[in-house]
Structure 1
């Protein structure tokens, strides 16, 4: 693969939104746990946060939050404020981590199909990891409702969420990719319709909305290609598609999608970043202020569960 010789600096910038982790993490509590498991001989790690009322209720939703290439669990938690949202909205959130490269700084990536880098080169079975992780968390935390498991992700993590929808539709109720496209190499044949909420910026040059060469020479399919795949998978009626334009963003929705839906939020500001997140590095794209990804994603997830 021609990306093998990418420098470690490039890897650490690759598709994360390029944000340096915030130095102030959420206050540690006994509800925030660093975990690990061995999959195919590799130690895989994750960070899980239980909301404050976990011991007082049942039927919790579980949201898988997948970092971008070169990111990690704590970086995603800090930069995108997802744990704060999980605590206030009362859902369980887990930040799985991709495999580390052999480089000195150990950049982490996901095998989402054609992207990205080390995980693809080593043919890491990240679908297996996520599947086993879901099983383990449902066993460890029985108050989680197995019908309410969702996936979101940034960039390479967004691409991984698409792959999970294709291959783990029996476990994932809905997905919400941010700043990433569908990059699977095999035909996408889910066992059921999967609701999709796509968030992207028209100013994103690292994963261009219209497709093409992005960051460090990677080719990315157009965002619309992935959406078209799911319009077909979910049996949506294309004649009922609606586009609503606002000053800073637009919303496209497809109707009659077999007990699911497909929604696409396109912002006119921001870039390769998480709308409503923090801007922790000057050289990184500023997050969109037109929408708040966390609020939209959680509102979307709450509408769906597995049959």
Structure 2
């Protein structure tokens, strides 16, 4: 169990770190890559953001060298999750060891939600663009963009960070949050990717600059499929997928917000995935969005040991930029 620490009181511990699963609903456990982990550092930082006590976990690989600058990857959890859970299940630590980057796992604020009646449903949530309609009237929304700005300042002060290689990944509510950060924090981050969480449909936002994105969705995601005309299983076919008003509307939000050509090409597909690439109207090589459909994937962050998981796919996308 990872112990919390107060900022300016740094407790470091060293030892063998392995990626294990704490629940099959979230991920298939994987041991791939863990055999090479020799000595790594995990630090849990408690900081104050806008008067609130907030927390994030920093995983520094054994290959870390303060003389060299290192990429930085954030993984944002979904509703009711926390940073420790995704530190444990996501597979990012093994990738950090392999590719020599720092992985960060923040925890969101806790809100009272309307879903089960106000006063009965306290849940961790990121303040993405969907949250205002989900919280009870008495709640005050926290400025999570300011929180991430603060985390970045703290990490850059404490570690040797390559500020041209800062990546944001997220799952579910956290995926919706990284989309918001692609708008509001795009002057500081390099690329974003998320699974099972999106912008609201048929809206438009104004990013500070346009960054590459990678969106992902499982065909059997029960949290999203029920909102579509397909009900149970989203088709592994983009022509069919975009006949649904909700999925088409969500995609249109990204197309308009990030100035993308609505015509797409099917690229980078595998036995388990189908990917559409939307090129940016500027023609610049980093002006694009990938949208991947995962065959038979429900609402969880996959980390199987027999093929690439979500973290693997996102890192392959990130490392291009």
- TM tier, smaller: 0.7 to 0.9
Structure 1 residue 184, shift from structure 2 partner: 9.0
Q: Report 1:186-265 matches (<5 A).
A: 187-208=204-225, 211=228, 222-239=246-263, 241-244=264-267, 247-256=271-280, 257-258=283-284, 259-265=286-292
Structure 1 residue 235, shift from structure 2 partner: 3.2
| 2:182 maps to 1:165 | yes
CA RMSD of superposed structures (Å): 3.5
Q: Secondary structure at the match of 1:32?
A: strand
CA contact (8 A) 1:79 1:277 kept: no
Q: Secondary structure at the match of 1:203?
A: coil
Aligned pair count reads 269
Deviation string, structure 1 residues 108-162 (Cα, Å, up to 9, x no partner): 2111122375599421111111111111111111x11111111011101001111
Q: Secondary structure at the match of 1:207?
A: helix
Q: Give the Cα–Cα distance (whole angstroms) in 2 for the partners of residues 234 and 114 of structure 1.
A: 18
**Bigger Rg over Cα:** 2
Which structure 1 segments of 5+ residues have no match? 1-15, 215-220, 279-288
CA contact (8 A) 1:182 1:223 kept: no
Q: Report 1:1-307 matches (<5 A).
A: 19=26, 31-55=41-65, 58-101=68-111, 107-115=123-131, 117=134, 121-141=139-159, 143-183=160-200, 187-208=204-225, 211=228, 222-239=246-263, 241-244=264-267, 247-256=271-280, 257-258=283-284, 259-276=286-303, 291-304=308-321
Q: Give the Cα–Cα distance (whole angstroms) in 2 for the partners of residues 197 and 137 of structure 1.
A: 25
Q: Displaced runs of 4+ in structure 1, greater than 4 A? A: 26-30, 101-106, 116-120, 184-187, 209-212, 244-247
TM-score by length of 1: 0.75
Deviation string, structure 1 residues 142-192 (Cα, Å, up to 9, x no partner): x11111111011101001111111111101211101111114998411021
Q: Give the Cα–Cα distance (whole angstroms) in 2 for the partners of residues 146 and 251 of structure 1.
A: 29
After superposition, the Cα gap between the structure-2 partners of 1:18 and 1:160, relative to the gap in structure 1 and judged at 3 Å, is farther
Between 96-105 and 251-260, the greater mean CA deviation after superposition: 96-105
Q: Secondary structure at the match of 1:53?
A: coil
Q: Secondary structure at the match of 1:206?
A: helix
CA contact (8 A) 2:62 2:97 kept: yes
Which structure 2 segments of 5+ residues have no match? 1-22, 113-118, 232-244
Deviation string, structure 1 residues 245-278 (Cα, Å, up to 9, x no partner): 6543211012345332211110121211113259
